Chain A
Amino acid sequence: MNGTLVTLKKELMSYFYSPVSYLIAVLFYLWRGYEVRSTVRAFAVYQLDQDLLPSACFGLTSTFFMVLLVPGVLTMRCFAEERRSGSIETLLTAPIRDVEVVLGKWLAAVAFYSLLWLPTVLLMWVLTLPPFLDTHLEFGPVFTSYCGMFLLSSMLLAYGCFASSLTDNLLLAAIVAILFNLGLLKLPELLRQELGATAQEPLVEQVLSKLDVMGNFGQWWARGLVDTSQIWFYLGGTMFFLFLTVLSFGARRVA
């Protein structure tokens, strides 16, 4: 898997060179910092159950920003830029397999996305110290919250890579990815409204609850509970989209 490691390194370097990455980071940290500070203050003032803090923090608007917009914007360049600039020709004529390139690019996106989240753990820890909340925070739910976010984002970034492999237009790639994310966030709610009573049937309800990504976050991950079926859902989705990306990327040879 030499090709994967080399691609991962080069793509990570590109993320750190890109002004878009810094723009996302600055926007996210300012927004997140403000929201978490307000939430923690509310918890202190109203003396709420500290165990609910991770759950409350994951329900913030900045989380939606990270789930809805950021995966598509981060991955839009992955393949669309290669096609637009023509560098796909040197990439596809190098002695590496398509799957190595796809994995390298996806892993770089996952690594950079995870790095964006990492300082927010520090933020929560700092806020529990004496000058701020001066309390003990249960880090179990925090850990599961971040694991859940990692799995979900892995799937969304895999889809972002797939969207990027379909076009040479960066904006279009980002829009296709964002629309998918929006669908994933809003579809269960819309289906519940449309189906009415049918949505209450056990099988339908079960399917809808599995699809309800953000609902599951509040109910399970952020409370320190891990549902293995959701792990399989995210892992399966990730592999499915990566597989589609390999097919789509390789199809360039036939074009």
Chain B
Amino acid sequence: MISVRDLRKQFGSTAAVDGLSFEVSRGEVLGFLGPNGAGKTTTIRVLTCFHPATSGEVRVGGFDVRTQAIEVRRCIGYLPENVPLYPDLRVDEYLHYRAALKGVPRKQRKSNVERAMERAGVLEVRNKLVGHVSRGYRQRTGLADALVANPPILILDEPTSGLDPNQRRRIKQLVKDLAQEHTILFSSHILAEVQDVTSRIVVIHRGRLRADGTAADLIAKGSSRTLRVEAHADAETLRRALVPIRGLSAPRTTDLGDGTTLLLAAIEQQGDLRDAVAQALAAAGVRVRELRVELPTLEEYFYSVTEGADRSEEGVA
């Protein structure tokens, strides 16, 4: 449904997007991740025909954004980051206006608006001026606008930014429900919700693709599992006790101050090492307070391909 090939967008001498390529298949929910300034919004604006690409080929719903902009815009429901609305219109007036602008036939307009309001959960504020509703309702009104023409593709640019946890939860649930009928590109930098809502994740940084895959794949590609041991022993005893265990590397110890020491070590082999570690510590006479394996997170992976990668490059330079 969305195909981006070697996209480049330049503002003056600055390349906001630099040779980006990715695809989104029909029915997929793609998490579009990146730190602030990574080029997410610029890419989205090219997809929605708000900005022209400097070079590259972008097709949405099978249409070229350069030569078939009207057709592209017809198959997209777009929720921009700041949800710009007209404060002097009532919520249902605004949605009727947007439905008419998007070419929804007069006969279907009322039912489309009702359905969009119901799905986005704005029925209770339908008669209120847009300028008088809360941030959460504004966000949902914007979402109802994206849904009102029932387009096959939804592009949601940070739909949960500035919302409280309850509102975020509702939007997340709504996106999950919408995923059954629409192809969705969901941009955010809140990793937990992207992991929860999307079927695939694309990470961009400095306008370039840094990762593409399912959340599980990306986590697996990232940092290794970590063994965490808190025990009543000094650092040296603890290290010596774990020497026989194969597959542990780079142990780091911290004195916790109450006669206990914390040891963290990377696990470099498959399988559960906890039994072996427990036996080794018992054999060395070390009394254990806590023993567990910490799994890597998407956050760590995100850091490693964005800011972490920058630091490594700077270090090499």
Contact = CB atoms under 8 A, between A and B. Distances in A.
A13 interface: yes
A86 B45 CA distance: 13
Contacts of A96: 70, 101
Nearest to A82: B84
A92 to B, nearest CB: 5
Given A9-B97, A89-B84, A95-B74, 15 more contacts: A6-B97, A10-B86, A10-B89, A13-B89, A85-B87, A86-B80, A89-B45, A90-B84, A93-B48, A94-B73, A94-B98, A94-B101, A95-B71, A96-B101, A254-B51
Contact of A97 (B51, B70, B100): B70
B73 A93 contact: yes
B144 to A, nearest CB: 12
A7 B89 contact: no
Given A6-B101, A254-B52, A86 B88 contact: no
A18 interface: yes
B103 A2 contact: yes
Query: Which one of B50, B70, B80, B87 has the highest number of Cβ atoms from chain A below 10 Å of its Cβ?
Result: B50
Interface residues of B, number: 28
Query: Which one of A7, A86, A94 has the highest number of Cβ atoms from chain B below 10 Å of its Cβ?
Result: A94
Interface in A200-255: 253-254
Is the contact region of chain A dominated by helix, strand, or loop, or is it mixed? helix
Contacts of A59: none
Given A95-B70, A95-B74, A253-B50, A2 B100 contact: yes
Interface in A74-129: 85-90, 92-97
A46 B99 CA distance: 60
Given A14-B86, A90-B80, A95 B50 contact: no
Contacts of B85: 87, 90
B55 interface: no
Contacts of A33: none
Contacts of A3: 101
20 contacts: A6-B100, A6-B101, A10-B86, A10-B89, A13-B89, A86-B82, A87-B85, A89-B50, A89-B84, A90-B84, A90-B98, A92-B49, A93-B76, A94-B98, A94-B101, A94-B102, A95-B71, A95-B103, A96-B101, A253-B51
